[in-house]
Structure 1
Amino acid sequence: MICKGADTLTTLTEGFCFGEGPRWFEGLLWFSDMLGEAVHTVNLHGDLTTLPLPGHHPSGLGFRPDGTLLIVSGEQRRLLRYDGYTLDEVADLSDVVPAALGDMVIDNAGRAYIGSQAREGGVIARVDPDDSIAIVAETLDFPNGMVITPDRTTLIVAESTGRRLTAFSIRADGSLSDRRIFAEGLDGPPDGICLDAEGGVWVAMTLAHAFERIEAGGTITDRIEMGDRTAIACALGGPERRTLFLLSSTDAYPQRLIGTKQSRLDAMTVDIPGAGLP
């Protein structure tokens, strides 16, 4: 196992409240500032832009095939759409989910899979391109980060309070089946995740203050120690998708960070490129 310290990282930007949902798209890393009520973009030089979202707590992000940005408004339990000019509501999930919304992954058909983060009894909701809503997985323990494999047949979700990664088969109609364990007994509650070309999943281990690369079955091949910082979410992007972007904060519980600006985005080059979705 390779263990690396935070001193191997390059800091791209900092000074925001609570970063979540990083996504690489068209030469930029997009990420939510959940408590700062904004979505940011940053390039590889660290240049930052901001889309203010007053009244919303953005979490999961993703892009439909036409390039439209979808934004999860977590506490409000809504899915928003931003086309570069206007922001509007795609779906109100407040009547069909048990808790606030969290992370999201969008497939090639434009179907958005969104976790509702109940500590027990969490669900994954699917919002289709026609904006219809379906519940496709239930009884999850705080569903969090999600990825879809390159062959588009498997969805992997981090169950934070369950301390495991769970896999589902994706049927042609977008429904989920064949629930199974990808890895369990993790070092800490997993948050955001991303997938590489050899099937390894990079996982933000919040309370373990580290990012780990985990293979099916639970083998840890790489570990990036973050010192006293809390690992929140990660993404693979940049040239050849070999840049690993790491969002960290000073606390795992967002409520304790209201009014602060201590979150940070770091980056490092990895050997195995990213793969799949997002």
Structure 2
Amino acid sequence: MESLKVTSNYEFNPDTLDEVRKELNLNKNEINNMLDNLQDWIAKQEHFTKKDFSRRYLETCLIQAKGSVERTKTNLEKLCTLKTLLPTYFEKHNAKDFEDFSNFVIHGPVAKILKDNYRLYFVKLVSSDFDASALLEYYRYVILLNEYTRIHDYSFGTVCVVDCRDVNLLSFVAKMTNIVDLRNTMSIMMVGYGLRIKAIYVISESKTVDVFVTVLKQVLSKKVSERIKVVKTVEALHEFVDKENLPKDYGGGVNKTLKEINENWTNVISTKENVEFFKDIFQAKTDEKYRLSDRYNEEVLGMPGSFRTLSVD
């Protein structure tokens, strides 16, 4: 019986593999046939600068695309194009070389997977004392995590928790002067990586939380925006996320604290093996002179040189 490899960073339910495939009406033979199809298709894409995607990487892409080969092809096409059009988000490969942004945000996916086989991603806003360069480093870090997920995770998608209790949200939003960076990052995550967001829980008692939520809605589709829910306390969050899945400092007694989760992730994605993987996978771009349609960026991405009109879903 096929099983998932459990690491210190990603744990799975005993039936995660079977349940994910069952929900998508897939079995091992069908997946192998689909992966053959994808590899044959990639081999024929003359404008792809990388052809040797691992089958494990492609299978995760397929799962995020709800088991659709055509949607997987579209996501790969767009991700490779985004790496070409937005190189600044893929310039760094070692998280330990990043500018430290822990003074304003600590974050990370929780190792224990949710009962419904979604992955919990936790973010705590610590301070509004940051600048645009630190914010960009955070976005780059999140992209590294998504590439790591391609070869290590097996889940339906993500449930996000954003803890805003310790910051003045008006000041924080005011410091996010370059919303284009946020929009571009969300485009990379959701259009390129095919990230599926089941829910976003914002923890805040502030009367100005609507300002922060409005910013989020500017970079998300209407469908995903409707999945944002504001809760006032950690106790209220327990109604939606089981305590056992939360960091220790949020009621999850058996888990690491969020700070420990953050530090652990930095160590993991900064290993020599992972840094080399990031260097290689970030070269999966497009050479536009070999693309059959020179209007692809405008017709498919909807933005020749700009990401302002892209609808993220």
TM-score (norm 2): 0.24
Larger Rg: 2
Q: In proportion to residue count, which structure has more helix?
A: 2
Q: In proportion to residue count, which structure has more strand?
A: 1
Query: Quick one: higher RCO (CA 8 Å, sep 6+), 1 or 2?
Result: 2
TM-score (norm 1): 0.27
